[in-house]
Chain A
Amino acid sequence: MSEAARVSGPDLGHGHPYPGVSLAALAEGSKPSASASLKLLPATARLVFRGREAAIGPAGEAFGVALPREACRFNTNGTRSVLWLGPDEWILLAPGEGPAPLFAAIETATAGLPHALVDVSSRSVAFDLSGPKAGFVLNQGNPLDLSLDAFPVGMCTRTVFAKSEIVLRRTAPDSFVVDVWRSFAPYVWQLLEEARRGA
């Protein structure tokens, strides 16, 4: 109901025009690069699953991808993936699908078992960053060791890019997916573009 504190009163004229940045326009204007190309990924069904032990197996069965039990790893089956984000938290991804049937199927399979399933399909958008310099580009805003030993294919984690939280996963030796909350997406995209210069 209520709102955050404002910095100043009504007489101070603290406003300003702000045309804003459209992610679609940014993506359209992005130049391909052999060393690190940046692509906006299409809409994806995203479900957060959290719950007790008993619900974990049935949820994975209903989704068709087992929920990984190893920290910071993701499982994939066909187009669908499940990312481990915490000891009792996973995110289920189904690119190109609508969330409703998946939601219903998992709820049916886990009925009566303590858990929480929440549709967050719209919460974030995802970018693919691919090429031999992808890690070099990401390391301009992300402090993790992105060498293949330390961050192998199949690894995922919630981390940061500059001042934004992201979920990062490595889908191939030279390919990463950056999942970022929608309102932070233009910021992260523009910084990635800046980092791609000269890469």
Chain B
Amino acid sequence: MTGAFRTASGGRIDRSKPVAFTFDGQHLSGFSGDTLASALIANGIHLTGRSFKYHRPRGILSAGTDEPNALVGVGRDEAHYAPNLRATQVELYEGLKAESQNRWPSLKFDAGAVNDLASPLLPSGFYYKTFMWPAKAWTKFYEPKIRAMAGLGRAPEAPDADRYSQHYAHCDVLVVGSGPAGLAAALAAAASGVKVMLVDEQPEMGGSLLASRDASIDGKPAQQWLADALAELSAADNVTLMTRTTAFGYFPHNMIALAERVTEHVAVPDPELPRERLWQVRAKEVVLATGALERPLVFPDNDRPGVMLADSGRTYANRYGAKPGKRAVIFTACDAGYRSALDLAAAGVEIAAIADLRRNPAGELPAKALAAGIEVRPSTAVTGTSGRLRVSGAALTKMGEYDFGATQQIACDVLLMSGGFTPSVHLFSQSRGKLAFDPVLNCYVPGTSVERERSAGASRGLFELGAALEDGYAKGADAAKAAKGAKAPARAFAAQAPRLGTDGHIGATPHNRNPAFAKAFVDWQNDVTAKDIKLATREGFRSIEHIKRYTTTGMATDQGKTSNMNALGIVSDALKTPVPQIGLTTFRPPFTPTTFGIFAGAARGELFDPARQTAIHGWAAEQGAIFEDVGNWKRALYFPRGNEGMHEAVARECRAVRSAVGIFDASTLGKIEIVGPDAAEFMNRMYTNAWAKLEPGRLRYGVMLREDGFVMDDGVVGRMAPDRFHVTTTTGGAPRVLAHMEDYLQTEWPDLDVWLTSTTEQWSVIAVQGPLARQVLRPLLEGIDLSKEAMPHMSVREGTILGIPTRVFSVSFTGELGFEVNVPSEHGRKVWEAIYASGQKFGITPYGTETMHVLRAEKGYIIVGQETDGTATPDDVNLGWAVGKAKKDFVGKRALARASMSAPDRKQLVGLFTVEPQTVLEEGAQVVADPKAPVPVPMLGHVTSSYHSSVLGRSIALAVIKGGRGRIGQKLFVPMPDRVIEVEVTEPVFYDPKGERFDV
């Protein structure tokens, strides 16, 4: 069965290609070219959902993006399930599985519909009024229950199995919308020779022309003209045509976001193609030809399935060959309703009557309807409908000068309504363009532009075919000229189509029903009635922004596409205030709901963020290392053996370094090569230390301050030559330090002949630490004498290792004799493996960052960012010795001279011993003098680092404590949730305080 409501012929569906699908498990059939909505209508089905709040039965209202009711869940399985899709935009494909939403147990019998009976208890703002007490019940009870009842679709539970991609593109002229105005604009821009993109959200280009029955352009039927125009555009190599592509966001500097649906409409998608693509298009000029949306009429019971927008009804008949019913009543305030009546009559639908709000409908289309024998009732309103799951009749009431006349019930199975058209100004408004109210059309049209764009055709209120074509061509030519100074040839369009006029209606229509019970819907998706909006005005709301939030009108996923102007009309009427004075709510992106996937793109799982690996990573991974994230780096945290946990592994690694030798990958250290005749002068200005006298071949520990005098970074610096320094920084600080230096160089000291080059990734850094380090390295090095005399602590030598050039630093971050072997990173692993092999007979032990942390803490070495927090001076962390007092200047020097920077009660770095030696303090824990002091207890400082030290057989901690150096020897307290830990303040160097182990 392909549908009892199919027309005999016509439409853009392919009748040779039937397509089977299911809706709520029911097996149905449509044709290729159908949407889910048109296929349902062809099968006589209008009931597609239950409403948000009252669970009222709802049908298909529109034929496009503005659909508020027919929201469905679609997907072959949980991993491909998408909720809340508009059935009017879901293209039919073989095997499509769709289900209705917000109903239980079934669409036809929904338990939630009891809400409709209780509707007098659910006025606007009822959330705010009712669920006030007790406060806790809101999150625990009310909100979950309300959300479950007042729901849209369900979120899928399986991870999204689809792929999404993201693309950047550029063009001279971007045309949004391919109706008559957009096509004409694209033709003009294309003829100018500029680079054009024409995008349209529908599967086919053409917009309103796709539903045209009797219009003609240039002497051809409109649909033939459309085919020719598209052929012309496709043949031009300066034009890109994109269908199924929604321009959903207009961002600054003409950045337009497009969502392209690539495989959504295909039964068996190509696995190599993404489901959707995000396009970020930078367009020199934009033409917005986004068309207009038909306004519904707000009358009692206007939400029954079978009540539709008139032009949508016409679209189903003409474009999809699907008759929306057998017998129609039309309710209209403009001539468009007559066009629908005539087209539906031509498709074989009986037109029972046309109720026209106007007293004297006199246009070309009403005349045609009368001539066709259709019953036209002027000054007549629909004041109610009957039927339960589908409209079965309409109440037509004659309106007199001062009162209502007789009401007549007329049987029908579809009721079409038209209040006129509202220009789609969403993208214009998103671009921050200023809207202007058009009192003739009773709607807002684009006013002053902010971005380089212009609107064309119906999107600025030009609804007649000829005017839209002419305007579109002019705007396309204007855009091409503005983009590239290109000129379009003159072109005229001879369009013939019945005139629609400018009539229309906003606000509620008159009725004679009891206003306490009549439900005339303004916002279908959020279940807001005219009564709700009037109530809000009676409660004192004046601004449309407030009324919107109080009543929730226009706040659903359709962003008020059908409701905004009618809500304004009702408020205007209730407050006796002209529409422009009530304001207009803001249009926000996205124009239509957009998947999360498109924003994630490929940035999922492993590719979410770069996982930076050193050259030695593979070796460490093969050894079973456990890694930690340090910035974007993966660093080996420890190397467990057998069933070791972290504590056992770290204890073993620490012992190995202290008693024999360990090997550590320090490649992630930031490195900057500072070269030039003024290199030493530059170093003098950037660091607190004095550099002039540092001889080539020597190392120095450097401290860098920010301008405010606080420690920014530290690192060991090697002087390779009089004009060349090898600077190291913290792992996380490398880019920041380079930018800081480059900033000073470019803005403050451009006269200095010195240049900076990042060498972080040039070098693999292999730290060999421990009393046996020299024995391990000695056999491998060429051209470097490692002896104590030739290479003292804190020196650097160049030579080769395995024939590879190397810079060897004698440096220690462990307190033991140590070397850091720098080799070009492409050889890092090879050299590492050679050193590891050479160290085998000495028990060389690979260690990770955790052991490194423990060893340095035993020596009281700080970690910038752990012992410092951006408010520590060098003296606070016992680095006063590194500040060159005799130096004329350096970054931060002036700030250090402020009185508060040397106040005696500043927080100073000290050590802490727990009185109970096996207790390990928690990092970040607060330190107090008297835990029993009244709250708030004065805080003295906090624990910055805390470990178990295996070499000391007890816990150690570093802390910053107010006036800490003066408290050494005192007992202080660390209050924890379950107990108070007593600690003794100590010197911060716990192991080998004299530094005798460097030179073993």
Contact = CB atoms under 8 A, between A and B. Distances in A.
Interface string A1-17: 11111110111011111
Interface stretch (B307-315, B330-338, B862-870): B862-870
B621 interface: yes
Contacts of A48: 757
Given A6-B853, A7-B629, A119-B762, A139 B755 contact: no
B502 interface: no
A124 B864 CA distance: 28
A120 B631 CA distance: 23
Interface residues of B, number: 93
B759 A1 contact: no
Interface in A169-199: 181-184, 186-188, 190-191, 194-195, 197-198
B886 to A, nearest CB: 24
Interface stretch (B267-275, B341-349, B537-545): B267-275
A43 B826 contact: yes
A139 B650 CA distance: 46
Interface string B881-895: 000000000000000
B946 A9 contact: yes
A182 B758 CA distance: 13
A198 B826 CA distance: 33
B634 interface: yes
A5 B865 contact: yes
A117 B720 CA distance: 13
A11 B618 CA distance: 26
A21 interface: yes
B675 A150 contact: no
Contacts of A4: 630-631, 730-733, 863, 865
Contact of A116 (B603, B755, B811, B853): B755
A40 interface: no
A26 interface: no
Contacts of B758: 123
B861 interface: yes
B761 A2 contact: no
Contacts of A124: 761
A140 B602 contact: yes
Given A10-B850, A122-B761, A143 B168 contact: yes
A198 B274 contact: yes
B757 A116 contact: yes
Given A6-B866, A140-B165, A15 B610 contact: no
A22 B622 CA distance: 12
A88 interface: yes
Given A2-B714, A11-B920, A191-B607, A19 B621 contact: yes
B818 to A, nearest CB: 11
Given A9-B922, A122-B762, A150-B170, A116 B613 contact: no
A182 B755 contact: no
B823 to A, nearest CB: 9
Nearest to B734: A4
Contacts of B606: 21, 190
B753 A21 contact: no
B167 A50 contact: no
B861 A123 contact: no
A1 B811 contact: yes
Nearest to B823: A122
Interface string B644-688: 001100100000000000000000000001011100000000000
Contacts of B922: 9, 11
Interface in A122-174: 122-124, 136, 139-145, 147, 150, 162-164
Nearest to B166: A140
- A contact patch SS: loop
Contact of A123 (B617, B761, B947): B761
A94 to B, nearest CB: 15
A111 to B, nearest CB: 11
Contacts of A115: 676, 755
B627 A2 contact: no
A118 interface: yes
Nearest to B805: A100
B614 A198 contact: no
Nearest to B625: A17
Nearest to B677: A114
Nearest to A182: B761
A71 to B, nearest CB: 16
Nearest to B630: A4
A112 B845 CA distance: 47
A18 B762 contact: no
Contacts of A163: 603, 609-610
B169 interface: yes
A18 B602 contact: no
A166 B701 CA distance: 32
Contacts of B147: none
Contact of B167 (A21, A116, A140): A140
Contacts of A13: 646
A139 B169 contact: yes
Nearest to B613: A20
A195 B272 CA distance: 10
A118 B675 contact: yes
Interface string B842-869: 0000000110111010000111111000
B761 A183 contact: yes
A15 B646 CA distance: 9
A95 to B, nearest CB: 14
A30 B311 CA distance: 53
A81 interface: no
B864 A2 contact: yes
Contacts of B270: 198
B628 interface: yes
Contacts of B170: 145, 147, 150
Contacts of A18: 611, 617, 621, 627, 634
Given A20-B611, A183-B614, A197-B163, 17 more contacts: A4-B733, A5-B732, A6-B853, A15-B628, A18-B617, A18-B621, A22-B618, A114-B676, A121-B826, A122-B763, A140-B167, A140-B168, A143-B168, A164-B610, A183-B633, A184-B610, A190-B607
25 contacts: A1-B714, A1-B716, A2-B861, A2-B864, A3-B849, A4-B730, A5-B864, A6-B853, A9-B924, A9-B946, A10-B948, A15-B637, A18-B627, A18-B634, A20-B621, A89-B755, A122-B761, A140-B167, A145-B170, A182-B761, A183-B610, A183-B633, A187-B611, A197-B163, A198-B274
Interface of A: 1-7, 9-11, 13-22, 43, 48, 50-52, 88-89, 100, 114-124, 136, 139-145, 147, 150, 162-164, 181-184, 186-188, 190-191, 194-195, 197-198
What 8 A-B pairs are tightest by C-beta distance, nearest first?
A: A5-B865, A4-B732, A116-B675, A183-B612, A122-B824, A15-B626, A116-B755, A50-B755
